[in-house]
Amino acid sequence: MHRSLSTQDIKDLRNQCSMSYLISTILFIFGTITGVTIYELYFDSKPQAINFQIAVIIGLAVLFLSVILFFGLNWKYYSDILNSEKIQTIKTLQNKDIITDYYKTTVTLKYVFTVDNVNLTVNKDLFDSCDIGDKLIFNYAPKSKFLLSIEKSGKNS
């Protein structure tokens, strides 16, 4: 079944792109510095001063590669946002478990569902509202296959 994306779904898909902003920025900064340094050390005929024209050309070339990398990493997410559609599949809850996680002095509880032999961490409200054997609705973005949300189905047959 196909449904349209909610504003929360769009926000979640955009959040998936946040790391590629950092990666592209780091590539641009270090790529430009490295490119200009290599040019100045090995290819500049006048090593007394930086050749600003070549530095700008190298910077623009690295910027172009950074933008291509950014869109290469995120095209599936942006395609899902543009299509504004999600796929819903119904699956059966096989098992549910509470796992106590001890980290230094902090104790946290993880609420885990097992569906199709895969463990998925869910929130406490969904965990409390479902029983083993219940039907769950999984909402996926079609291109990226990103799991947007899990909800309890109204039908349990």
- 80 shares a domain with 119: no
Out of 45, 61, 84, a domain closes at 84
Domain count, the chain: 2
- 67 shares a domain with 7: yes
- Residue recorded with tokens 């920025």: 25
Checking if the pLDDT of 10 tops 70, the result is yes
- 145 shares a domain with 122: yes
Q: Among residues 73, 75, 70, 76, which one has the least CA distance to residue 140?
A: 76
- 61 shares a domain with 104: no
Report the DSSP beta bridge partners of residue 135.
92
Q: Which residues contact 46 (CB under 8 A, 6 or more apart)?
A: none
Residue 157 lies in a domain: no
What residues make up the domain containing 54? Answer: 2-84
- 125 shares a domain with 57: no
- 107 shares a domain with 146: yes
Mean pLDDT of 68-90: 96
Residue 106: φ, ψ to 5°: -100, 135
Among 1-10, 75-84, 91-100, 136-145, where is mean pLDDT lowest? 1-10
- Tokens linked to 50: 């930086």
Q: Among residues 20, 29, 34, 32, which one has the least CA distance to residue 68?
A: 20
Query: Tens digits of per-residue pLDDT, 19-43?
Result: 999 999 999 999 999 999 999 888 8
Query: Tens digits of per-residue pLDDT, 88-129?
Result: 999 999 999 999 999 888 999 999 999 999 999 999 999 999
What's the pLDDT score for residue 130?
95
Residue 93 lies in a domain: yes
In the three-class reduction of DSSP (H, G, I as helix; E, B as strand; rest coil), residue 120 is classed as strand
Mean pLDDT of 44-60: 88
Q: What is the pTM of this model?
A: 0.77
Among 11-20, 49-58, 64-73, where is mean pLDDT lowest? 49-58
What's the pLDDT score for residue 155?
64
Residue 75 lies in a domain: yes
Q: What is the CATH number of the domain that holds 143?
A: 2.40.50
